[in-house]
A = this chain, B = another copy of it.
Amino acid sequence: MSRNINDQRRSKSPLAILQDAQNSQIILRLKDGTEYKGLLKEIDAYMNMILKDATEIMDGSPVAKYSEIFIRGNNLLFIKPDASEIM
């Protein structure tokens, strides 16, 4: 576990990993429990996102579809970066 200065800089990588998830399918959950599944088109440092072809899911059931949707980052609970790999 040899740590150096580069390791220190790597500490912002959770957001970098999200940046890498652009243009792939994701699932995200908001604080109110609503989930969205779709293509992550854009994400910024505040975790504001644009999803394409998104499905809104409440209590496990799809309730709406959106060709494009902007989601405000401050309501975010989690993001599953690769929706195709749900275990």
Contacts and interface: CB of A to CB of B under 8 A. Distances in A.
Interface of A: 1, 10-15, 17-20, 23, 30-32, 42-45, 47-50, 65-72, 74-82, 85-87
B77 A75 contact: yes
Contact of A31 (B32, B42, B50, B87): B32
Contact of A50 (B14, B65, B74, B86): B14
B32 A13 contact: no
Contacts of A85: 67-68
Nearest to A16: B42
A72 to B, nearest CB: 5
B11 A43 contact: yes
